[in-house]
Amino acid sequence: MIRVRFAPSPTGYLHVGGARTALFNYLYAKHNGGKFILRIEDTDISRSTRECEEQLMESLLWLGITWDEGPDVGGSCGPYRQTERTSIYVQMVEELIKLDRAYRVYAYPEEIERLHDDLLSQGRPPHYDQEMLESFNTQERKREFSLNNLNPVVFFKMPRKEYRLLDLIKGEVIFGEGAIGDFVILRSNGQPIYNFAVVVDDILMEITHVIRGDDHLSNTLRQLAIYEAFSTSIPLFAHVSMILGSDGKKLSKRHGVTSVEQFRDKGFLPEAFFNFLALLGWSHPEGREVISHNELIDSFTIERVNSSAAIFDETKARWMNGVYIRETDLERITDLTIPFLIDANLITEEKAVANRKWLRKAVDSVRKSVEVLSEMPDRLKLYFEDTAVEPLKVENEDQRSVFKGIEAFKNRIEYLDTWNGEELVRVIKEVLKEAKPDRKLFYMSLRHVLTGSEEGPELIDVIYLLGRNKTLNRLERALRIP
Does position 198 bind ligand GLU by CB under 6 A?
A: yes
* Residue 15 C-beta-side C-alpha neighbours within 13 Å: 19
Q: Which is nearer to ligand GLU, 198 or 336 (CB)?
A: 198
* DSSP assignment string, 300-362: --GGGB-SSPEE--HHHHHHHHHHHHHHS-HHHHHHHHHHHHHHTTS--HHHHHHTHHHHHHH
CA torsion 378→381→387→392, rounded to 10°?
80
Does position 17 bind ligand GLU by CB under 6 A?
A: no
Q: Are 432 and 442 in contact (CB under 8 A)?
A: yes
Q: What is residue 47's DSSP assignment?
A: T
Q: Which is nearer to ligand GLU, 38 or 154 (CB)?
A: 38
Which residues are CB-contacts of 462 (< 8 A; sequence separation ≥ 6)? 365, 382, 383, 447, 450, 451, 456
Q: Give the C-alpha separation, 197 to 41, whole Å.
A: 9
Neighbours of 199 (CB within 10 A): 27
Contact pick of 20, 81, 212, 474 for ligand GLU (by CB under 6 A): 212
Does position 30 bind ligand GLU by CB under 6 A?
A: no
Length of the chain equals 482
Does position 9 bind ligand GLU by CB under 6 A?
A: yes
Does position 8 bind ligand GLU by CB under 6 A?
A: yes
Measured at the CA of 472, the angle between CA 469 and CA 476, to 5 degrees, comes to 140
Q: Give the C-alpha separation, 203 to 96, whole Å.
A: 14
Stretch that binds ligand GLU, among 7-15, 176-184, 324-332, 471-479 (CB under 6 A): 7-15
Binding mask 41-80 for ligand GLU (x = CB under 6 A): x---------------------------------------
Stretch that binds ligand GLU, among 5-13, 298-306, 428-436, 439-447 (CB under 6 A): 5-13
* Residues annotated as part of the active site: 253
Q: Which is nearer to ligand GLU, 7 or 57 (CB)?
A: 7
Q: What minimum distance in Å lies between the beta carbon of 200 and ligand GLU?
A: 12
Q: What minimum distance in Å lies between the beta carbon of 254 and ligand GLU?
A: 20
Q: Which is nearer to ligand GLU, 200 or 428 (CB)?
A: 200
Q: How far apart are the first and last CA of the chain?
A: 78
Residue count, binding to ligand GLU (CB under 6 A)? 7
Binding mask 215-254 for ligand GLU (x = CB under 6 A): -x--------------------------------------
Does position 23 bind ligand GLU by CB under 6 A?
A: no
- Residues in contact with ligand GLU by CB under 6 A are 7-9, 41, 198, 212, 216
